[in-house]
Amino acid sequence: MTAQSNRSPQPPDHRPAPTSGPAATGDDSPDVDSVVPIAVWRLDDQHASELGTEFASRLARRLIDIYTDPHDIVADFDGDPHLHDAAHDAARSYRAFTSPMQLTDDDTPRSRATLVVWRWPRPTAWPTRPTTLFAACHLIMARDGCVIAAVRSAEPGQTHTSHAEHTALLLPAAEDAGFRHVLQIVAVGGRDSGDQFVYYATSDEAAQAASDPTTGGRVCHIDLLAFIPVGRHG
């Protein structure tokens, strides 16, 4: 899979060659779930000050390039400015759903989103429960759409929620709501390596990518979980 549009959230049948290219993500250490295919996205960021910014422009652009086509709709439950700008720059429509009233607003166009993005744990007051999030996704997304959950986990030794604890909460909620987990993306920021995209990575490869200190002694990364509706193929 290259940086061309491709609606399938699942990995391609080959490992793409490195390309050149800055994305920024969170700075958490992953606990990789190997039940589904794993992809490692190393996004070269030449401006270290931008590392750590959630959904920075490079990562947002890649998500939109991979999972949408021109004139598709991108839905966002967090009103993220990087996702907003990337969508408009790529000729996609962008909608922020930051309150439950927007789901049934008569002024909201009825076209469905092909990409829905939200962060976990929730940085905003609504919606706070995974069951509510997945139910809301059904109301706004197209049948061939994809949900991307950006999961920030605790670093080893910290007392915050771990990746395993997050997935233990999210995956059953997704299944109950009629969604299937199809891909885990370990997105990391780096410098002087060029963009590198490895699909069908091993757990060890993913963990190494997220712990390699290429950014001033700390690695910036975020785990992206891709979901599609049950019954959708590809």
Provide the b/e sequence for 167-176 (b: ≥16 CB within 10 Å). bebbbebbee
Give the pLDDT of residue 119: 92
Q: Tens of pLDDT along 78-104?
A: 999 999 999 999 999 999 999 888 887
Give the pLDDT of residue 124: 79
Q: Tens of pLDDT along 48-81?
A: 444 455 447 788 999 999 999 999 999 999 999 9
- Domain for residue 151, yes or no? yes
- Domain for residue 153, yes or no? yes
CATH code, 103: 3.40.50.150
The secondary structure of residue 76, as a DSSP letter, is E
**For the chain, how many structural domains are there in total?**
1
Domain housing 104: 38-229
- Domain for residue 57, yes or no? yes
With pLDDT > 90 as the criterion, what percentage of the chain qualifies? 46
- Domain for residue 33, yes or no? no
Give the pLDDT of residue 15: 39
- Domain for residue 42, yes or no? yes
Give the pLDDT of residue 53: 56
- Domain for residue 196, yes or no? yes
Q: Name the residue with higher pLDDT: 125 or 233.
A: 125
**Alpha-helix residue ranges (DSSP H) falling in 106-222:** 130-140, 163-176, 203-211
pLDDT band for 178, please (50, 70, 90 cuts).
very high
- Domain for residue 12, yes or no? no
- Domain for residue 169, yes or no? yes
